[in-house]
């Protein structure tokens, strides 16, 4: 691979982590003449991920991203890996429930011991202020949810409304629902449009939130809804032009 120096050592000892959670496995020793495809097959047995869908990322001892191991035909030795580095497996881990890690050796540390380690997924996220460790993003999210909640509480069911979404024409309708939606974050307004310009019948993922004909219903964010004296327009959908 252009730009990478092949390391002469025949083997490399690396830590393994996954994108599923903070589980870290015992240090593993891999031969440098393994292809990345063969490496994925071994990691499939270790992590429960699928070799057909997993992606592998390499991080150094300071949890700095080094490279992605993208070429299935390349040799492991063609990547700049040293002992003590970490291979991070990114996958959806459908196989994990079946394997359940019954015969897979792994570290089982107390929370205090785990917090002291400097080479874990948690320490990487904390150091780089990612995910739940990004306090600024968390505060912005909490502020947005408070604003949405206040808007939802001010919108009355049955009110006439106008829905304005960026890059879409305004739509008129009636507020039919205001509150949270199962499996979605934040707060939502359920609207029955005057025209069949919606996406549903008041349902989301099989759960009914309000009643309306199919394609007349939609769920939109509160800031997109303006309530007011918007008369119902008489649309002749059968009119030929």
Segments making up each domain of the chain, as ranges: 11-133, 147-227
Decide which of 1.10.8.100, 2.30.30.190, 2.30.30.240, 3.10.450.350 is the CATH code for 147-227. Answer: 2.30.30.190
- For the stretch 194-210, pLDDT in tens is 999 999 999 999 999 99
CATH topology of domain 11-133: Ubiquitin-like (UB roll) (3.10.20)
Which H/E stretch holds residue 160?
Answer: strand 160-163
Which of 142, 16, 195, 154 is CA-nearest to residue 89? 16
pLDDT > 90: percent of the chain: 39
1 contacts 71 by C-beta, under 8 angstroms: yes
Rounded alpha-carbon distances, angstroms, from residue 188 to 3, 138, 141: 50, 20, 15
Which of 27, 121, 36 is CA-nearest to residue 83? 27
Please tell me the predicted confidence (pLDDT) of residue 102.
46
Summarize the confidence of residues 89-93 as an average pLDDT. 83
């Amino acid at each position: 691979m252009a730009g990478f120096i092949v390391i002469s050592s025949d083997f490399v000892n690396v830590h393994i982590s996954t994108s599923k959670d903070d589980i870290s496995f015992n240090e593993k020793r891999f031969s440098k003449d393994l292809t990345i495809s063969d490496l994925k097959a071994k990691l499939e047995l270790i992590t429960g991920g699928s070799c057909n869908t997993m992606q592998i990322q390499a991080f150094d001892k300071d949890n700095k991203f080094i490279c992605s191991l993208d070429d299935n035909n390349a040799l492991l030795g063609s990547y700049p890996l040293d002992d003590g580095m970490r291979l991070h497996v990114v996958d959806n881990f459908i196989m994990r429930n079946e394997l359940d890690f019954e015969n897979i050796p792994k570290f089982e540390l107390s929370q205090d011991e785990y917090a002291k380690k400097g080479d874990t997924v948690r320490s990487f996220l904390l150091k780089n202020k990612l995910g739940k460790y990004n306090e600024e993003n968390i505060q912005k999210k909490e502020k947005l949810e408070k604003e949405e909640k206040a808007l939802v509480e001010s919108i009355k069911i049955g009110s006439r409304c106008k829905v304005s979404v960026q890059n879409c024409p305004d739509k008129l309708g009636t507020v039919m629902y205001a509150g949270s939606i199962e499996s979605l974050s934040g707060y939502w307004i359920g609207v029955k449009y005057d025209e069949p310009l919606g996406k549903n019948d008041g349902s989301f993922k099989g759960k009914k939130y309000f009643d309306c004909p199919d394609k007349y219903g939609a769920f939109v964010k509160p800031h997109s809804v303006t309530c007011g004296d918007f008369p119902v327009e008489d649309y002749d959908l059968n009119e030929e032009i």
